[in-house]
Structure 1
Amino acid sequence: MAGGKLTPRQKMINLMYLVFIAMLALNMSKEVLSAFGLMNEKFETANNAAMETNSQILSALGTKAADNSAQFGAAKKMADQVAVITKNFYDYIGKLKVDVTAGVEKNENGKLPYEAMDKGDKIDEGWFEGDGYSAKGKEIVSTMDKYRADMKAVLGNDAKYKAIIAEIDSKFNTADVKDGEGVTKKYLDYNYKGFPSIASLTKLTAMQNDVKGIEAQLYNAFMGNTAMAAASMKNYKAFVMMDKSAFFQGEQVTGRVVLGRYDASTVPTNVTVNGASTSTENGSAVFKMAAGSVGEKEITGKFTFMEDKKPVVIDIEGNYVVVPKPNQAIVSADKMNVVYRGVANPISVSVPGISSDKVKASAPGMAAAGKPGQYILKPGAGNEVTVNVTATMPDGKPFSSKQSFRIKGLPAPTGKVRGEVAAKGAKSNLEVCTISAELEDFDFPVTVNVTQFNIKVPGQPTIVVSGNKMDARAKAAIAKAGRGDVVVISEIKAKFAGLDQIVKRVAPCTFEIQ
């Protein structure tokens, strides 16, 4: 520009242009250097904030792992490994920054003199040797490679971390780089050789920011993936929740279907069912208890979990119905629904699935026998009596039923002499015998009193005797009987003790003289 066949005046003008351009370049360089410094400050501020945020996330993950190691323990272990690897590499980069700024004095505001940091000789001399790396340069590349390998070793081949692994490979790749002119250069040569120290310092601080960013992503991934795994629909099951656990025929079945999480990682600190502690298996509480008496029963309890070092209680509510256990087949004679007039007929009343204290029965002549479900029925006049049963079902609704019984009089007694229907013995035995009448094969304790009977001795007229023992006439007739004669006792008349009921014809009895 200043050479050639130019006039002195033109040469002077051109020289002035060169000086002016140089001055512009110098002024632009200072602005660029200041811009790098300001960018470095912003990265430093972001890094400090990231350190605090990451520490809080790691602490929260530690609390979750302490409360529920089954669900968060593995994630916490990985996070601890990432924390150590990250700190070591972050601190190493910090030492490199100290080396870069060694000997540079800060101004009165405590800041580095960015505009004066236009030389890169410390890095050029310390990191490079000839066309390759110095020992320090090799150490830097080796440390970056180790950080990348260690982080990938922690994450393994889990597809959930594929994107983060790709970002680590991209941001911390130390392979050779082609510049804009297609020339292949080594990683440090391309990024740091010949650059102003403030630019290299900013790049190192930016690398620290990348390290903290990767750390934050992993912590959030660990927390998020654990929560996602716990909340995954694969861990949910559909549960049918009936409004009660037993229904009667014809009753409307009601309930709900809900989704519930059912996995082994959900481990409560304590479970109680009906006041007793119980254990958990595969994410569910297992309990055993006696069924209890017949009727509706409640199940209550609590799940206790620890969350943020505080107990969280979830109530357990349920119910079930106890029905009588079958101990025999029910066989009934269709025409044997009979009760006997004048005696205490025991009646048992029950309704399957309903406790006895909620069942009531009534009928003419019926009274409670003292125990739930037990009654005494003494029917009066008529040929039929109806027992009405009412009950309260587990859902509170009323229940009613009825059963009719035929009323029968007491059966005819059987006459007996000396307690036998056909007795044998000496005449002297017959003379002192008592004539009785009994209700044979009858399950009720009924006493029969004989008031009169006829005695017939062979060859002698029939004698009517009052009471139940032989009188003088009867004894005289018996005295005339011979060996082998059969004396017949007939027309026995009797009364039921305590009952206002006519006794049916009493069967006769005999006595053979020996």
Structure 2
Amino acid sequence: MSGGNCPETGRQKMIGMMYLFLTAMLALNVSGELLQAFQLVDKSIQESIKATDSKNLDIHNQFRAAEAVNAEKVKPVREKVESIYEKADTLYNQIQELKLMMMRTADNSPEATLDNYKGSDNQDIAPQIMMVEKGGERSKNLIADINEYRDYLISIISEEDTALISALNTSLSTEAAPPSRPGQVQVSWASQKFEHLPLSASFALLTSIQSNVRNAQADVATYLLAGIDENTYKFNDIRSVVIPSSAMVLKGETYSAKLLIAATDKYQKPRFDIEGYSVKPNEDGEGILEIRTNKTGRQEWSGKIWFKDPNGIEKPYEVTHTFDVVQPNAVISPLKMNVFYEALENPVEVSVPGVPANQLEVSFSNATKRSQGDGVYIVIPKPGFAGGKSIVTVYANISGERQRIGSKEFRIKPLPLPYATFAGKRDGKVKKNLLKVQNGIFATMGPDFDFELEYKVTQFSIAATKGGFFQSEPSKSNRLTDAQIELINSLGRGAKLMVEEIKAIGPDKRNKKLAPIVLTID
């Protein structure tokens, strides 16, 4: 970092001019107008100090904000800045106490304030307090403390920052100014500040030192704040990035990805050097790498990405990556059973890993299909193909080309027969009271059949032996007739009851004969 980063500000130049003006006025006879001029200079410097205090507070807040983002890097520097602020406050307050001591001595009142005091033309009090009392201990201590503060600030600064070091040596110098003309007697720094001067002039000179203390504090704090970003890359664009562990995830596996924020510099584009391949940079500074895959298996590429560091030196960053090339494979999965049932809606899921469902083309022989989206199809075999086969063939649009991926064969079967139940039973014993509350015969596929297949009984007969004679009563629906109910009510315990000649119709609209039911009255 160059000391040129801390040039003299306009306000500092103004203070320097005021100091020259003050020095020039000291060569004149002390008059009321001159004393008033000293006081005006003092007030102007105090206003400058207020502005510098505001700047120092702002710098401190910037350190706090930077620490919240990167505590590990900023905290040690922020603690060093707070040490500077503490030393600056101590020296500033020490000078303020000296001014109060002089003012209250001149006013002969402990209640006097710096804004309202008497004796501004007194030329004895300042040298008495600073150079006579205690053998001039107060001026010696002040000089030592200024030197210590200056040396501490310089110890923090890099030796290469000569401009800032020179500025500190000048503004916080305690060396006596050389004689203004040949033959003039050399006087000390303390004498120049306190001897043969009206009190208001000494006040203005002390306020000028306080201003230099605050300005030095601000300059070094600014220097350290800038140092936080030294050798740090500058970026002006932020974007979100998702890096998946794999671009393809099998069903049932866990998808995993890294989510991060990437920073880029839209004014500085990286340079890509990938071995064996060309990279096309886009307007956003990203490199587009395209590799044509002609064989299956694990593939690897590597290279370097070049980017300029904060000093403008291009540096390489190694990059390597592996990926797997697999033969496209169609996954054809029946969602219910491994056959296609005639006249039923048979759901099938079709997918090709790595290929979106909307880029697949699926055909079914001897059947019609209806897409449900997301690779799910409803398949209905065409009439008359029961006992035959349906072949599912899958094509995919890969890199703009239609490719056959695979196929699978399904058997087409006729609808299975249901079984009939009476009072929820197919055979065995049944309570007569339970039979009395029944109103019909029902057909069911049972709990092990995955499809919601509905059959309706269209006819049946109730048969039993009554009074030594075999009697059969028919029904042309699934409902019990009055004659059938009368026959059931006439049966006693142990009697056999048969439900026979049962027929039912299903989705294929065919009447099918079902197995009879034989029950024993309990």
TM-score of Structure 1 vs Structure 2, range by shorter chain: 0.3 to 0.5
**Structure number with bigger Rg:** 1
| TM-score normalised per structure 1 | 0.44
| TM-score normalised per structure 2 | 0.43
